[in-house]
Structure 1
């Protein structure tokens, strides 16, 4: 059980559902482009969005962006505390900043006070690529222990100014280091954890790394919000995050497709059938489990837990529901019959 923070009204931590995050790759001072991308991301299932604030022009655009969107807005700040103050005043719902990187104590105090007054939480974002040099020397490189010690160092800076509305992330491009760091942090504190593996790469490999790292931690009950990081359209990040939560059974906000890998008994084009069913399921909102199986011998039995399914034969297949055969169907009508049954349900 972790403590709970509120990000623009969205709870993170405690027993709250796990919100999906992403980050814009537009220029933040291009308000129109940024708002348009946020709306696309929200439509895809993003629930908290972050924007980069590298300069004062970006900070001053935060208010205009916030007015035009309906999901919480997080600002990503590095080094310049004045950008944090400007963004918070403009209406940011959360600040991602490392207090140790913004200079003199009075600067940390100013940010902590501004966030406290407005009820804005701070995410301490520890990253393996920017660990403090003394910690790198102490631990001989980027280790889970170094990441966790860095996090506690930043936490202590905020505690000096009576600020504890904190979320923590500990990201590395190495999946095992990331997982070990989060597990260690979860043992040592009850701060809500923002999960992610950083710099994972392009769509295919990045999704695999994220599924292992984020999914593995969630399966241990660790993690309160997630962001999949990909060198791809941010909409792909949201899709991957939704799939991770769905694969773990954490969310049931749409259909779940199960299909067999095919074998020498298969007498239909199962791969094409599964792809067609998957595409048509994109328009189904009900949380159904749908099976596409390769043969009639054991298809309904293997997929007995599915709400509905089809099993191929040689020119003819079976339509079944909860493991019980509904009827035989010509092969070229299998998918249409399946969706007719889904419509009935």
Structure 2
């Protein structure tokens, strides 16, 4: 596997980003931030879903003023998302754990100086959030809304912050299509060591956002690029976290929970495999120990996969095998297989935790 690119470690609240820190998963509330109750409710939902960092929109001063109470009532680090009005960042910086600004619409550089000063006073990091749809005019005119234009904007703003003696930076380079997004991150990655926030912006509803994010974020993770991610799904909260965690795990960048291997449905299947896999997923969702488990519906796929799995089911006609590390531990009627399988998985997970 490609080694993860070495980056500077910064902290968003108490969550490390970059360096040797685990790749964190972020999301963003869609409530009006000034609606304190609704925003706190959404942040708490994300917290229980396993979110690491949450971002909130701050389009008006009323939203910035609400952050004091919101931050006091939640247990996730909060990032204030700032566009156009730098004064919102100055107010938000009194309460939040990070400021994200879009250099394409924040205005003249004196405003960024004021944001940097406010962040320095509280030791807050800044996310330079470049978006292909809102590049500064000089980069738009020279490069168009291209990966090269996104990189040029990012490098200019990074240098501007560095000249102000500010280096607690993370960077995002987002476009609404996968190709530009991936290209921009790949170009910029070897040119600095700041942590990268990955995501495909405006990715769409659950199906399309999952596909785009899996391709874009997943390919970058496989390249060793990326320190924190957000899967942007229209109108979703918990699903952003679920999909994000799955991408990190399946890209081999996190070792947590079960890797469930199940064969594709075909005419050889000799059991109700769909129901069996769904039951296995439901009954093992609490297990965080990294294990490879296999649920196979016929002998053609079962034996080979089962040999390499930590725990496996190999279905036959009305009966099946439960295997541990390639060894048969039980031959049982079909209706008893999942119970014994779950028992063996829980036993192995407990043993691993005790070691």
Q: Shorter-chain-normalised TM-score: which range?
A: over 0.9
Q: Within the alignment, does 1:106 sit opposite 2:107 as a pair?
A: no
Query: What does residue 71 of structure 2 align with?
Result: 66
CA root-mean-square deviation: 1.6
1:99 CA displacement = 4.3
* Contact 1:88/1:115 (8 A) holds in 2: yes
Using the TM superposition, give the Cα deviation of residue 134 of structure 1 relative to its aligned residue in structure 2, in angstroms: 3.2
SS at match of 1:3: coil
Task: Please say which of residues 47-56 and 157-166 is displaced more in the overlay.
Answer: 157-166
Residue number in structure 2 paired with 1:316: 319
Match of 1:240 among 240, 243, 247: 243
Task: Please say which of residues 103-112 and 198-207 is displaced more in the overlay.
Answer: 103-112
Matched residue, 1:220: 223
Q: Does residue 92 of structure 2 align to residue 87 of structure 1?
A: yes
Which secondary structure state, in structure 1, belongs to the residue aligned with residue 261 of structure 2?
strand
User: Is residue 128–residue 172 contact of structure 2 (8 Å, CA) maintained in 1?
Assistant: yes
Give 1:184 deviation, angstroms.
0.5
- Deviation string for 1:222-243 (max 9, x for gaps)? 0111111011321110000010
Alpha-carbon spacing, 1:83–1:158, altered in 2? closer, same or farther (3 Å): same
- Answer whether contact 2:105 2:136 (CA < 8 A) is retained: no
Structure 2 CA distance for aligned equivalents of residues 253 and 27 of structure 1: 34
How many residues are paired up? 343
* Residues 3 and 192, structure 1, Cα contact 8 Å, conserved in 2: yes
The residue number in structure 1 matching 2:37 is 32
Shift of the alpha carbon at 1:341? 2.0
Distance change (3 Å), C-alpha of 1:59 and 1:65: same
Partner of 2:297: 294
Aligned to 2:135: 131
Post-superposition shift, 1:261?
Answer: 0.8
Match of 1:175 in 2: 178
Aligned to 1:143: 146
Tell me the equivalent position of 2:3: none
State the alpha-carbon separation in 2 of the partners of residues 159 and 210 from structure 1.
31
- Given candidates 309, 325, 339, the residue that maps to 2:342 is 339
Residue equivalent to 1:55: 60
- Partner Cα distance (2:106, 2:147) in 1: 24
Check conservation: 2:23, 2:228, Cα contact below 8 A: yes
Structure 2 counterpart of 1:9: 14
Write out per-residue CA displacement over residues 142-192 of structure 1, whole angstroms, 9 at most, x where no aligned residue.
221111001112223323422222111000111011111001010221111
The structure 1 segments of at least 4 consecutive aligned residues displaced by more than 6 Å after TM superposition are: none
Using the alignment, how far apart are the partners of 2:183 and 2:158 within structure 1? 19
Equivalent residue number for residue 353 of structure 2: none
Alignment gaps of 5+ in structure 1:
none
Aligned to 1:279: 282
Determine the C-alpha separation between the residues in 1 that align with 2:176 and 2:127: 19
